[in-house]
Chain A
Amino acid sequence: MKLEILNGHLVDPANDIDEVADLFIVGGKVAAVRKPPSAWEADHTINAANKLILPGLVELSASLRQPGQEHKATIRTETKAAAAAGITSLACLPTTNPVVDSPAEVELIEQLSQDSGHCKVYVIGALTRGLKGENLSEMAALKATGCVGVTNVLHPLKSPLVLRRAMEYASSQALTVFTHPLDHHLANHGCVHEGLTGLRLGLPGIPAAAETAALAFHLALIEELNVRTHFCRLSTWRAVNMIARAQQDHLPVTADASILHLFLTDHDIRDFDGLCHNLPPYRTQQDRDGLRKGLQDGTLSAVCADHQPHEIEAKLAPFQSTEPGSSTLESLLPLILQLVDEGVLDLKEAVRRVTQQPAEILGIAAGNLSVGSEADVCVVDPGLDWTLNSETLLSRGKNTPLLGHRFKGRATHTILGGKLVFQLEPE
């Protein structure tokens, strides 16, 4: 099978390409860029005039809800949504039921995603057994079955000592630790940013210090142990500054922000909109601007969707009782393009943050269109106007504060290992 994608604006940050060019694919691999291989005759042609040709997006954090939470979503529904959003690789979290803390769950997830065949799925395993924060998970076994990292997500660890040992053990298995910096005692069951909106609504707040104190604590250990750590979902400008300093000190740390944190603030919660309930919470304008600045100067190397699909009932309660998180896979690409429109990043840099960079953080071969690499590609119509709503959302989770929002830019074709896995139906 020979596939050619012609006349598109090809953006491949890893190879420093940002020009109108053609892409040629043979046998599931990128065969050539710009000029066709010799004696080329395509079986299939995609005309990408006025469109973007990008490496397939790499998503750092998606909850696929399987096994055990199929009422929220399944691997099949969510990988299909990912494909429609131009995402060809994603990392899923261990917060399933049972928790992903042994090879059995990893194998099950890998099997189900291969059967579905819409998107490559990588598993981040549990740092501690059952995510209970007490005993280490069998990290070597997790790694052997394909886990790309370990995390305790937002579950607390029993003590600083457990954290130290877990970090050391992960490092000796060459596993990246994915850390969500949050001091649970300071957070004290809060559900919004501790600020004016929380005060007015009478909702218990999570102070910025709940993030920075936990971050400082981790950094102190990293400084001593030299353990490769990725900090997930920063939400405060102070934390961004701390990461920048740590990077200047050559600590082995990277960090990301979720796409919604780059747009929303606590002000969006003003009439108790449970769809804006998120952990970490959306914070102030100053924090949002600090995250954007961190993105510009490279302190935050990647942007992720932080996809958390829920059933409708999960959000059908007073704010504090709703489950946090949003269904965001399908908002990632248009919002990244909006950051370009708003002048936060240029196009190549923006694409890098959702392709090359997350792939590097996960340590996977993806996120570029180098000749010889897996042909994971997405073709995007950057001018296409569309509205996000329950009908257009493919994810089973309809929980997003952006329902009804008009977007510009949408994937028209997604190619996974040379195979067309999504094509937008013309309206």
Chain B
Amino acid sequence: MSDLDGTQLIDKLGHDLGVFMRARDITEPLLVGIRTGGVWVAERIQSMLEIEDELGVLDITFYRDDFSRAGIQPTVKPSHLPLNVTDRHIILIDDVLYTGRTVRAALNEIFDYGRPASVSLAILVERNGRELPIQADVVGTRLNLEARQQVQLSGPQPIVLEIVD
């Protein structure tokens, strides 16, 4: 399979997200990227949509459900959300939505910071293989892949998406 054009997909995602927020009447969103790929995507969209609030960053290591199997990653970095997320409209951004477990972990972590007004999910590449009842609100593209295939993202400059066997 050929590589995907990351920049083009992010442009589309950013555009669709803008449309989505206007429809929902969200004027002061809090963008939150999931480390690592989601943060790269979120940074681009943040500047595209000219959002001035600080970008939130989540490291979901401490919320993973496979923790005792996978252990602590040597690359674990602190999460950073604005101290008060209560009553904010959060746009959660990640590069790939696959099993849904990462998003579940991210939702749990967000709620440990406070009680947001709403959380929406923006995903660059949505693929098949969900294991939890989670779906994206806005997507860059949808792919149907075989189980052995993976979407790999490298970046941040430029962001390149690759499908590997």
Chain A directly contacts chain B within the complex, with at least one CB pair under 8 Å: no
The chain A residues found within 8 Å of chain B, CB to CB, are none
